[in-house]
């Protein structure tokens, strides 16, 4: 009986369920849990003051109902970016009320803010910066996509507002790292928000340092003398190489890291540490190969005790690596050296589907 058949017999005859590793273990949304619990209490006769979902207690306005009825015959798919007339109205509203020059091409209409923010994180590469306390949906979204989350603590003495110096301190650790900042206030944005936004725009007191994302048609070194220009060009070239290497390493389509470890305490700890270090920089991990696994035909008291210890470590590896796919390679009589040994290992990996 194969190992797969044994596993299915233990679970039943249902099919294997393969969930994205970033989705496994995610609990129910706190707001949904609160909403369901408050509904149960209200149904049992308790007086409940709901602080969960922010649903409107008011009826749908009559003009909205009328327009829905008038357009009930509309059945064609809408433009992906939203109705152009609606996007034009949104751009005009912000132009009139906030003095910002937007056009319909700058506007994207979606079914809700959380879905739009999920799509934003999906298409834009960068850490998610969230001031605490915050809404409970943002961090799980980043976890599902595989983005790093950076929390910025806010304090009661500052009315739970994000301070410019706190954001500045976070960005100073890695100035060129791309980030998405969520400003989710429990109250209306105040002038403190304006101070935060000032730190996100260029200021005259700061030198404009060329980055690899500048317009290649522009000369960022205009006005420099020959020696300073040569040094600046060298530094910029190196920075661009670093960014190219970083994009290549973090691109799951072209790069993936595979760990090789033995079923022993130190290799497990070192692999666990290395795995988390790479994940902090969004470096894709493909799996792990567990090497030097004792073959079943080994005998003797020594091998029996070793096999018992190894069995414990083999059970520990999936938990330590959070369910990352692993493959087992049995221990060979001698160290792997030379082409013959490598061919034997390659053939075994091929049988495992690697």
Query: pTM for the full model?
Result: 0.46
Q: Are 116 and 110 in contact (CB under 8 A)?
A: yes
Token representation of residue 90: 């949104």
- One-character DSSP codes across 159-197: TTPPPHHHHHHHHHTSTTS-EEE----SS---HHHHHHH
What 3-state DSSP class applies to 129? strand
Q: Answer yes or no: is pLDDT of 189 > 50.
A: no
C-alpha angle 254/323/137, rounded to 5°? 85
Highest mean pLDDT among 149-158, 185-194, 206-215, 240-249: 149-158
Domain count, the chain: 4
Q: Answer yes or no: is pLDDT of 89 > 90.
A: yes
Lowest mean pLDDT among 150-164, 182-196, 239-253, 287-301: 182-196
The mean pLDDT value for 61-86 works out to 90
Instruction: Report the 10 Å Cβ neighbour count for 122.
Output: 13
Domain span holding position 29: 25-70
- 15 secondary structure, DSSP code: P
- 52 secondary structure, DSSP code: S
C-alpha angle 194/106/215, rounded to 5°? 80
| Residue 318 domain-assigned (yes or no) | yes
The mean pLDDT value for 49-60 works out to 76
Q: Are 237 and 221 in contact (CB under 8 A)?
A: no
CATH code for position 295: 3.40.50.300
Closest CA to 135 of 103, 166, 112: 112
Q: Tell me, what's the pLDDT at 40?
A: 92
Q: Within this chain, do residues 173 and 234 fall inside the same structural domain, yes or no?
A: no
| Residue 290 domain-assigned (yes or no) | yes
Q: Within this chain, do residues 191 and 225 fall inside the same structural domain, yes or no?
A: no
* 263-296 per-position pLDDT tens digit: 888 888 899 988 888 887 778 888 999 988 877 7
| Residue 158 domain-assigned (yes or no) | yes
Token representation of residue 56: 């409107």
Q: Which residue has the tokens 């034997």?
A: 344
Q: Are 285 and 257 in contact (CB under 8 A)?
A: yes
Q: Tell me, what's the pLDDT at 202?
A: 44
Q: Answer yes or no: is pLDDT of 206 > 60.
A: no
Q: Which residue has the tokens 């013959």?
A: 340
What 3-state DSSP class applies to 266? helix
Q: Within this chain, do residues 300 and 337 fall inside the same structural domain, yes or no?
A: yes
Q: Within this chain, do residues 197 and 274 fall inside the same structural domain, yes or no?
A: no
Higher pLDDT, 75 or 240: 75
Token representation of residue 193: 């928000």
Cα R_g (the chain), whole angstroms: 28
| Residue 85 domain-assigned (yes or no) | no
Q: Answer yes or no: is pLDDT of 172 > 90.
A: no
Which parts of the chain are beta strand (E)?
127-132, 149-153, 179-181, 257-261, 285-293, 326-330
Read off the pLDDT band of 19 (50, 70, 90).
confident
């Amino acid at each position: 009986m194969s190992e797969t058949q044994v596993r299915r017999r233990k679970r039943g005859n249902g099919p294997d369920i393969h969930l994205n590793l970033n989705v496994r273990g995610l609990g129910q949304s706190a707001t949904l849990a609160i909403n369901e619990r408050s509904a149960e209490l209200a149904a049992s006769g308790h007086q409940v003051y709901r602080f969960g979902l922010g649903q409107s207690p008011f009826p749908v306005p009559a003009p909205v109902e009328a327009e829905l009825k008038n357009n009930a015959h509309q059945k064609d798919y809408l433009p992906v970016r939203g109705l152009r007339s609606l996007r034009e109205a949104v751009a005009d509203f912000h132009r009139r009320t906030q003095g910002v020059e937007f056009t319909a091409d700058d506007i994207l209409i979606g079914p809700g803010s959380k879905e739009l923010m999920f799509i934003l994180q999906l298409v834009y590469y960068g850490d998610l910066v969230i001031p605490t306390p915050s809404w409970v949906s943002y961090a799980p979204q980043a976890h599902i996509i595989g983005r790093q989350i950076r929390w910025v603590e806010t304090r009661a003495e500052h009315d739970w507002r994000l301070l410019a110096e706190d954001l500045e301190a976070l960005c100073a650790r890695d100035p060129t790292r791309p980030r998405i900042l969520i400003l989710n206030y429990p109250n209306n944005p105040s002038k403190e928000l304006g101070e935060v936004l000032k730190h996100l725009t260029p200021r005259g007191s700061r030198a404009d340092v060329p980055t690899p994302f500048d317009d290649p048609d522009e000369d960022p070194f205009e006005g420099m003398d020959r020696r300073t220009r040569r040094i600046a060009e060298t530094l910029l070239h190196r920075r661009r190489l670093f960014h190219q290497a970083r994009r290549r390493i973090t691109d799951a389509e072209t790069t993936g890291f595979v760990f090789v470890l033995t079923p022993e305490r130190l290799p497990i700890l070192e692999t666990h540490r290395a795995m988390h270090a790479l994940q902090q920089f969004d470096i894709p991990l493909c799996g792990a190969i567990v090497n030097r696994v004792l073959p079943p035909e080994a005998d003797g008291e020594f091998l029996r005790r070793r096999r018992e210890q190894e069995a414990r470590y083999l059970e520990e590896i999936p938990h330590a690596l959070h369910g990352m796919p692993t493959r087992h390679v049995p221990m060979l009589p001698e160290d792997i050296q030379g082409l013959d040994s490598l061919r034997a290992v390659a053939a075994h990996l091929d049988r495992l589907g690697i």
